[in-house]
Amino acid sequence: MSQNIRNIAIIAHVDHGKTTLVDKIIHASKIFSEHQHFDDLILDNNDLERERGITIVSKNVSVRYKDVKINIIDTPGHADFGGEVERVLKMADGVLLLVDAFEGAMPQTRFVLSKAISLGLKPIVVVNKVDKENCRPDEVHEQVFDLMFNLGATEDQLDFVTLYGSSKQGWMSTDWQQKTEDITPLLDAIVNVIPAAPTLDGTPQMQITSLDYSSFVGRIAIGRVHRGTLTEGEAISLCKRDGTIKKMRIKEIHVFEGLGKVKVPSVSSGEICALTGIEGFEIGDTIADAEMPEALARISIDEPTMNMLFTINNSPFFGKEGKFVTSRHLRDRLYKEIEKNLALRVEETDKEDTFLVYGRGILHLSVLIETMRREGYEIQVGQPQVIFKDIDGQRHEPIEHLVVDVPEESSGKVIELVTQRKGELSIMEPKGDLQHLEFNIPARGLIGLRNNVLTATAGEAIMNHRFISYEPHKGPIPGRINGSLISLETGPGTAYSIDKLQDRGVFFVDPGEEVYAGQVIGEHSRGNDITINIQKGKQLTNMRASGSDNNVKIVPKKQFSLEEAMEYIQKDELLEVTPKSIRMRKIYLDENDRKRYEKRDEE
């Protein structure tokens, strides 16, 4: 029985228009009339994804076109969410590679594309945003061909179909100078070029590649049926990571239809489905025949490159803003996260309330922290640390490929900033009216670099990076040059004292804001830390001032985003994250304790 199913993953660099294109495909297939409310993956990270304009969790939707069912998997573009991409590509038979007509193939396009090519998936290239000024579709097409060739694509993969268009305006065409009415040329290409999902007979096999959660039925296993047929109520075996096999029964089977799911009695190989009634599964487990179970090869995920210390909030302000503040809450939440976030690892430390969390990069970890604070958790995190490895008795560290597009007049400053942090310039070429720079830089050097580059280029630099490999340690890298301004007392700061101390540095708090002793309230203009009192008010007397008081003029405080604050803190500092605030603090709040530990470290 041949099924008319095409499974296709959409891959692209961040902000090249993947999710917009999926929207247009959904509109084109007119499924909104039967639009129903449903519990699915999109709801989990909705606010965060909308605010940042990025995809964090892959989504499944399906459309019908000319009697063919097209299952579309929208994937994240950031290398930090590579774990998501690596596992969902297992469900696809082809990929839609989306490339910006001006920017061309970017580093993270390369990362995801290399995974797709190694899995032997058939690509269709879409050069998007050809309506932009100074776009260069033909050059970009050549660039994509070279990239695929360099990644070792087969002749069949190199013989790809290219479409040009604008997903925002909702049209696609085989010639970028000829605008069409809609995106049907793209749907035709998917039906004609992407191979139909193969039907394999035999005992059932399905690998769980992602999961969903519903408050009614619990955890839902999602994957593509690799072989055979799965039937509602059927007994199956669950093959686990450690080789154990558990017997279970499928309760219900759902397939993706439009934006929702539809219950079906059975599902055969090649289709993507969601199963309920399976308990205690992990991503990568295989659902197999009850009598003769055969496990599929597990999904291999690249190693994490960074770790951070997570601990409960023990600052003087703990428990004022969050609902979940105990170590039990923190432990349960982190272990729940690693069930669905494959690239994340959690390790316990010798302290019961402290955990080491390993991730792919700053963004990967910050999305977890941001999600937790929105759920009502109060936590403290330490400075992000890069993971070193000993290879043949020599210390190795992760090296990243950094790409910066910057106006020509600022390129010298960027090269200087990156080379200070042991970055090596490999490519420098003009790209439109921008200068295109490529470096290889230790992952440690990236921490805090974005802030400095954006400051030096007046916010005009576009930075992207991806992990390449582990290389021998490159030696010390200079960190933050300026020390911290630390609060001496607890209480609201006064405008009078902040005004008097403005020459000492830049403040992170406004007058009237509650601070506690040991909190980092600003950046010192010099290299050392100093403790200051911002609670002091003006001495009032009954004498009239000769002349008049000077009006207080205070520079607005410096605001940090979560990622910026994570990159800013030093080794002896923590970041306190609650649902309402982000505060930086010293690990030891008392000044005498800090001095004692400093002395001990020096000895």
479-515, pLDDT tens digit by residue? 778 889 999 999 998 888 888 888 898 999 988 889 9
Judgement on whether residues 55 and 153 belong to the same structural domain of the protein: yes
The pLDDT score that the predictor gives to residue 535 is 87
Average pLDDT on 568-595 reads 89
pLDDT at 29 over 70: no
Work out the pLDDT band at 174, boundaries 50, 70, 90. Answer: confident
Interval 114-141: pLDDT, tens: 878 888 888 888 888 887 777 788 888 8
Specify if 462 maps to a domain: yes
Specify if 367 maps to a domain: no
CA distances from 464 to 57, 266, 425, 433, 567 (A): 20, 44, 15, 18, 16
The pLDDT score that the predictor gives to residue 567 is 86
Rounded Cα distance, 10 and 19, in Å: 9
pLDDT at 43 over 80: no
- Other C-beta atoms closer than 10 Å to the C-beta of 541 total 7
Could you tell me which residues are annotated as the binding site for GTP?
A: 15-20, 128-131
Considering 243, 260, 289, which residue would you say is the last residue of a domain? Answer: 289
Considering 255, 289, 323, which residue would you say is the last residue of a domain? Answer: 289
Rounded Cα distance, 493 and 509, in Å: 8
- Give percent above pLDDT 90 in the chain: 11
Judgement on whether residues 43 and 122 belong to the same structural domain of the protein: yes
The pLDDT score that the predictor gives to residue 84 is 66
Judgement on whether residues 42 and 180 belong to the same structural domain of the protein: yes
Task: Specify whether the CB–CB gap between 157 and 91 falls below 8 A.
Answer: no
- The set of residues, in sequence order, having a beta carbon less than 8 Å from that of 63 and lying 6+ positions away, is 25, 26, 28, 29, 31, 69, 70, 72, 258
Task: Specify whether the CB–CB gap between 143 and 127 falls below 8 A.
Answer: no
pLDDT at 596 over 90: no
Of 81 and 231, more confident: 231
Task: Quickly tell me which residue has 């995106």 as its tokens.
Answer: 183
The pLDDT score that the predictor gives to residue 82 is 61
Task: Specify whether the CB–CB gap between 201 and 229 falls below 8 A.
Answer: no
Rounded Cα distance, 345 and 303, in Å: 9
Of 588 and 541, more confident: 588
Specify if 298 maps to a domain: no
Phi, psi for 393 (deg, rounded to 5): 75, 5
- The set of residues, in sequence order, having a beta carbon less than 8 Å from that of 473 and lying 6+ positions away, is 388, 394, 395, 396, 397
H runs (alpha helix) in 67-170:
82-88, 107-118, 137-150, 155-158
Specify if 422 maps to a domain: yes
pLDDT at 107 over 70: no
The DSSP 8-state label assigned to residue 141 in this structure reads H
The pLDDT score that the predictor gives to residue 520 is 92
Range of the domain at 73: 5-193
Judgement on whether residues 455 and 517 belong to the same structural domain of the protein: no
Label the pairing between strands 59-65 and 122-128. Answer: unpaired
Specify if 256 maps to a domain: yes
Specify if 161 maps to a domain: yes
Work out the pLDDT band at 579, boundaries 50, 70, 90. Answer: very high
Rounded Cα distance, 150 and 114, in Å: 10
Interval 240-293: pLDDT, tens: 888 888 888 888 888 888 777 888 898 888 888 888 888 888 778 888 888 888
Judgement on whether residues 503 and 436 belong to the same structural domain of the protein: no
Could you tell me which residues are annotated as the binding site?
A: 15-20, 128-131
Rounded Cα distance, 356 and 443, in Å: 18
Judgement on whether residues 65 and 173 belong to the same structural domain of the protein: yes
What the block records as the tokens of 329 is: 């809450």
CA distances from 58 to 79, 95, 240, 455 (A): 13, 14, 23, 33
CATH number, position 175 = 3.40.50.300
Judgement on whether residues 151 and 211 belong to the same structural domain of the protein: no
The pLDDT score that the predictor gives to residue 583 is 92
Average pLDDT on 365-392 reads 89
- Other C-beta atoms closer than 10 Å to the C-beta of 507 total 23
DSSP bridge pairs for 532: 487
CATH number, position 403 = 3.30.70.240
The pLDDT score that the predictor gives to residue 458 is 82
Rounded Cα distance, 490 and 477, in Å: 35
Work out the pLDDT band at 467, boundaries 50, 70, 90. Answer: confident
Q: Give the count of domains, the chain.
A: 4
The pLDDT score that the predictor gives to residue 555 is 86
Of 536 and 550, more confident: 536
Q: How many residues does the chain have?
A: 603
